[in-house]
């Protein structure tokens, strides 16, 4: 049984590869740093965060990127002992490739491929050549490429206009039984999202398109899984095939989601020469399969752990100098406010992976607290709810703050008893984010204020929970994360 999603929370646009020993999934990260997260599993069962591709080591920066810009969908491939990752930086570089002999790096500097379009992919053919695809104006484009330097061997050519013509993107090509199979997403990455397949004798086409999607929940309006698409296929060593793809889980209300797009998996059947995902293009939370996946364990980050070895995210900032670890503690030195447009706030974030969770940390209230420090439910700089402590006129205050669109306000401001440390807790369910200080509720925010459907501009991320500091320092004790 596959327990979907296999990688939960904000982990969209998955791509999968196998290096002979383990399976690797790459997901997009947008304005969050480090860029392009990689998860691994030896048996498709237990998935764990391994590393990220774009980091300090290859000089990568997200400075000045807009919300939901930065790094879009990636493709991960393994060929002749080398890992290849292609993705799109929407802030200047466009589509590029980076490679490494080791999954843990170092990864090469990014080699630019083509400045326009998104969703690049690589297909290593049996004859040793590499074919490159991406989306572009009016369809899918492709040509042969040198994947080691990103140089296209000839200009991009349109190989398929798609089926509907709307948001034709996320192409991948596979070689099977003397044919080339092209799959791609259409309908946009919202509720009309679905996956189309084509096949051709020549890699440049023309591609015969299957009229019925190979993956679609567009007609399952009340199903708990929506927006399925952006698939990548992988042939297993025994000749069977699997697919990974994105989807969203609904908390119970129609057309409302707050966890972001997540990574799902299902088996692939070949029917009349076509790849079909799941049960005739439909998938379930408990997906029938001989593969037995485990459910994710809650993530807790101890301040004795290595920041780079954990699935922590920061907003645009490389900024390790903002985080100073002591003996079981972490001091966060402030930079920008959480609400600053294109800012680099001092915060560490974990993806919210379940609707019902308990997230917590402890904050010292001695002289180490020189500003505002606390916990946050963070979607982006326009949508967040925060509980922080600060000293004013010799008294300790607990402040609950909300930011929605262009409105920011203090919802509550209460004096607190001065203790050496205060436990800050964020409880979530399918309706609310509820903030506590030392067990007392200080405020709550509805999940609607973190739902992608309610954002002012097109957004592609999900809700994250974390710790932060503004206007000074804050010292957190032991660690932070989700309680087991």
DSSP secondary structure letters along 155-219: --EEEE--SS-SS-EEEEEEEETTEEEEEEEES-SSTT-EEEEEEESSTT-PPEEPSS-SEE-TT
Residue written as token pair 């997403």: 185
Whether 336 and 375 map to the same domain: the answer is yes
Least confident window among 3-12, 27-36, 77-86, 454-463:
454-463
End-to-end CA distance of the chain: 23
- pLDDT of 131-179, one tens digit each? 999 999 999 999 999 999 999 999 999 999 999 889 999 999 999 999 9
What percentage of residues in the chain have a pLDDT greater than 90?
90
Determine how many CB atoms are found less than 10 A away from the CB of residue 433: 26
Q: Is residue 412 reached through a cis peptide bond, with omega within 30 degrees of 0 on the bond before it?
A: no
Whether 273 and 369 map to the same domain: the answer is no
Domain-embedded: residue 99: yes
Whether 109 and 234 map to the same domain: the answer is yes
Q: Is the pLDDT of residue 257 over 80?
A: yes
Q: Supply the residues annotated as catalytic.
A: 13, 169
How far apart, in whole angstroms, are the C-alpha atoms of residue 405 and residue 384? 10
Whether 467 and 341 map to the same domain: the answer is yes
What DSSP assignment string belongs to 321-368?
GGEEE-SSEEEEE--B-TT-TT--BEEEEEE---SSEEEEEEEE-STT
What would the two tokens of residue 432 be? 């609310």
Q: Of 219, 252, 287, which one is at a domain's C-terminal end?
A: 287
pTM, two decimal places:
0.97
How far apart, in whole angstroms, are the C-alpha atoms of residue 290 and residue 401? 48
Domain-embedded: residue 293: no
pLDDT of residue 454: 87
pLDDT of residue 129: 98
Q: Is the pLDDT of residue 244 over 90?
A: yes
Domain-embedded: residue 125: yes
How far apart, in whole angstroms, are the C-alpha atoms of residue 163 and residue 168? 8
Q: Of 287, 316, 333, which one is at a domain's C-terminal end?
A: 287
What would the two tokens of residue 176 be? 């099977």
295: Cβ contacts below 8 Å, ≥ 6 apart:
3
How far apart, in whole angstroms, are the C-alpha atoms of residue 26 and residue 34? 13
Whether 110 and 251 map to the same domain: the answer is yes
How far apart, in whole angstroms, are the C-alpha atoms of residue 211 and residue 203? 20
What would the two tokens of residue 421 be? 């440390």
User: Whose CA is closest to 228, among 257, 269, 187?
Assistant: 187
Domain-embedded: residue 264: yes
What percentage of residues in the chain have a pLDDT greater than 70?
100
Whether 202 and 309 map to the same domain: the answer is no
What's 186's domain CATH number? 2.115.10.20
Whether 326 and 223 map to the same domain: the answer is no
User: Whose CA is closest to 244, among 411, 472, 481, 7?
Assistant: 7
Domain-embedded: residue 179: yes
pLDDT of residue 406: 93
Whether 398 and 363 map to the same domain: the answer is yes
366: Cβ contacts below 8 Å, ≥ 6 apart:
420, 475
How far apart, in whole angstroms, are the C-alpha atoms of residue 422 and residue 426? 13
Whether 194 and 61 map to the same domain: the answer is yes
Domain-embedded: residue 292: no
User: Whose CA is closest to 375, among 390, 364, 361?
Assistant: 361
What are the two backbone dihedrals, phi and then psi, of residue 57, each rounded to the nearest 5 degrees? -60, -35
Number of domains in the chain: 2
Domain that holds residue 181: 2-287
75: Cβ contacts below 8 Å, ≥ 6 apart:
15, 26, 85, 86, 87, 120, 121, 122, 172, 232
- pLDDT of 368-407, one tens digit each? 999 999 999 999 999 999 999 999 999 999 999 999 999 9
Domain-embedded: residue 294: no
User: Whose CA is closest to 33, among 10, 60, 3?
Assistant: 60
Contact 299, 350 (CB under 8 A): yes
What are the two backbone dihedrals, phi and then psi, of residue 225, each rounded to the nearest 5 degrees? -105, 130
For residues 212, 215, 216 and 217, what is the CA-based torsion angle, rounded to 10 degrees? Answer: 140
Q: Which residues pair with 416 in a beta bridge?
A: 396
Contact 135, 118 (CB under 8 A): yes
How far apart, in whole angstroms, are the C-alpha atoms of residue 369 and residue 475? 6
Residue written as token pair 């692939």: 268
336: Cβ contacts below 8 Å, ≥ 6 apart:
343, 344, 345, 346
Q: Is the pLDDT of residue 308 over 80?
A: no
Q: Is the pLDDT of residue 8 over 80?
A: yes
Whether 244 and 334 map to the same domain: the answer is no
Q: Of 287, 316, 331, which one is at a domain's C-terminal end?
A: 287
pLDDT of residue 484: 67
SS (H, E, C) 268-308: EEEECCEEEECECCECCCEECCCCCCCCCCCCEEECCCCHH
What's 469's domain CATH number? 2.60.120.200
For residues 321, 326, 329 and 333, what is the CA-based torsion angle, rounded to 10 degrees? Answer: -30
Whether 259 and 387 map to the same domain: the answer is no
Q: Is the pLDDT of residue 351 over 90?
A: yes
Whether 390 and 269 map to the same domain: the answer is no
Domain-embedded: residue 295: no
């Amino acid at each position: 049984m596959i327990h979907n999603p296999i990688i939960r929370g904000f982990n969209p646009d998955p791509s999968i590869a196998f290096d002979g020993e383990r399976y690797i999934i790459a997901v997009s990260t947008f304005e969050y740093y480090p860029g392009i997260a990689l998860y691994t599993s030896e048996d498709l069962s237990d998935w764990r965060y391994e590393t990220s591709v774009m980091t300090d080591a290859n000089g990568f920066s997200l400075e000045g990127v807009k919300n939901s810009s930065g790094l879009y969908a990636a493709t991960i491939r393994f060929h002749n002992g080398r890992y290849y990752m292609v993705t799109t930086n929407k802030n200047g570089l466009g589509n590029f490739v980076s490679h490494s002999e080791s999954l843990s790096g170092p990864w090469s500097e990014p080699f630019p491929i083509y400045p326009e379009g998104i969703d690049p992919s690589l297909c290593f053919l049996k004859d040793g050549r590499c074919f490159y695809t991406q989306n572009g104006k009016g369809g899918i484009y492709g040509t042969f490429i040198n994947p080691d330097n990103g140089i296209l061997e000839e200009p991009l050519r349109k190989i398929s206009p798609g089926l509907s013509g709307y948001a034709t993107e996320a192409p991948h090509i596979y070689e099977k039984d003397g044919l080339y199979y092209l799959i791609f997403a259409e309908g946009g990455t919202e509720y009309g999202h679905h996956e189309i397949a084509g096949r051709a004798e020549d890699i440049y086409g023309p591609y015969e398109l299957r009229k019925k999607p190979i993956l679609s929940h567009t007609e399952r309006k009340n199903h708990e899984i929506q927006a399925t698409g952006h698939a990548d296929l992988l042939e297993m060593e025994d000749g069977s095939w699997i697919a990974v793809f994105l989807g969203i889980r609904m908390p119970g209300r129609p057309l409302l989601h707050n966890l972001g797009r997540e990574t799902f998996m299902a088996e692939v059947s070949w029917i009349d020469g076509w790849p079909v995902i799941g049960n005739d293009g439909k998938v379930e939370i408990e997906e029938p399969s001989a593969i037995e996946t485990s459910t994710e364990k809650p993530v807790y980050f101890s301040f004795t752990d290595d920041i780079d070895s954990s699935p922590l995210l920061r907003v645009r900032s490389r900024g390790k100098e903002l985080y100073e670890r002591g003996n079981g503690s972490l001091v966060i030195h402030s930079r920008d406010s959480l609400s600053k447009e294109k800012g680099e706030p001092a915060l560490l974030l974990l993806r919210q992976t379940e609707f019902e969770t308990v997230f917590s940390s402890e904050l010292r209230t001695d002289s180490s607290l020189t500003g505002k420090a606390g916990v946050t439910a963070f979607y982006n700089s326009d949508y967040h709810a925060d509980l922080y402590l600060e000293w004013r006129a010799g008294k300790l205050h607990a402040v609950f703050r909300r930011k929605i669109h262009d409105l920011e306000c203090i919802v509550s401001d209460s004096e607190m008893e001065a203790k050496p440390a205060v436990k800050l807790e964020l409880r979530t369910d399918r309706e609310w984010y509820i903030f506590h200080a030392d067990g007392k509720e200080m405020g709550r925010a509805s999940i609607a204020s973190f739902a992608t459907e309610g954002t002012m501009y097109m957004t592609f991320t999900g809700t994250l929970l974390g710790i932060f500091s503004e206007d000074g320092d804050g010292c957190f004790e032991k660690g932070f994360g989700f309680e087991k």
